A = this chain, B = another copy of it.
């Protein structure tokens, strides 16, 4: 999916919600466990219940990888089930050099046909560029994350600024707003406005809303740009909103609350452009 299609999708659906399918076999409703593929059964129900409310699904690959081959089968079925026209993100945080990075890009862009994959920046340019060589595919590079450990390295001073600022400024030169996004943690609202000034045009994937505690209102106020420029992810807050037979309706209600709030922020921000 290219940038214009993504922007159109956001306007049509009045939503910049990304639903995170961090599906944990230990957390899904018990009645699904008799299904031959409980993880897929859960994801299918969540997708059916939220597909008109979100613009993206993000699959956290760790939850699938830990189940071995069975997990990859669930992942494959899930990606195949996501309707075309919805943006798909492999949250895999891969990072390796040259030929190995190309293998990872092929994995997520060709073998599984995701639109985007999250990428770790520590190894530098030759670990990111291979992901930028695929037409209408995206690398989403870790900028500033929302966890406690972001202080250990990302927030160390490098020259005039922080390491994460160096990462953003340097990485921006390797790609364009058409093939590169950044992960920017939502619990860091203070920095989010500054980051938007530094990176005016790129999309940000913002995790950490809901269960992890960021405020959608604050994020939207400081980081939305003229094309929206945001994909705000909610995982647990949506997919585990309920735990009974009607878990999918509970997930829909949670997603709908986000979508309605987003519609209001979009209307404010984009009014001039419509």
Contact = CB atoms under 8 A, between A and B. Distances in A.
Nearest to A22: B100
Contacts of A157: 158-159
Contacts of A94: 62, 93
Contacts of A145: 97, 122-123
Contact of A153 (B93, B104, B106, B167): B167
A170 B157 CA distance: 15
A154 interface: yes
Contacts of A3: none
A156 interface: yes
Contacts of A148: 124-126
A145 B124 CA distance: 10
A132 to B, nearest CB: 13
A124 B166 CA distance: 17
Interface stretch (A48-56, A69-77, A80-88, A198-206): A69-77
B103 A62 contact: yes
B69 A73 contact: yes
**Copy number of this protein in the oligomer?**
2
A77 to B, nearest CB: 11
27 contacts: A62-B101, A63-B100, A65-B107, A66-B104, A66-B107, A68-B107, A69-B69, A93-B120, A95-B95, A95-B120, A97-B147, A97-B149, A98-B147, A120-B120, A121-B152, A122-B153, A122-B154, A124-B148, A124-B150, A125-B152, A126-B148, A127-B147, A128-B149, A153-B167, A157-B159, A158-B158, A163-B163
Given A62-B103, A122-B122, 4 more contacts: A66-B110, A98-B147, A120-B122, A123-B142
A112 interface: yes
B72 A68 contact: yes
A72 B62 CA distance: 14
A60 interface: yes
A68 B112 contact: yes
Given A104-B62, A111-B68, A153-B163, A147 B126 contact: yes
A208 to B, nearest CB: 10
A120 B106 CA distance: 20
A100 B153 contact: no
Contacts of A250: none
B125 A63 contact: no
A267 interface: no
A60 B167 CA distance: 26
The 3 closest A-B pairs by CB, nearest first: A124-B149, A124-B152, A62-B103
B153 A156 contact: no
A30 interface: no
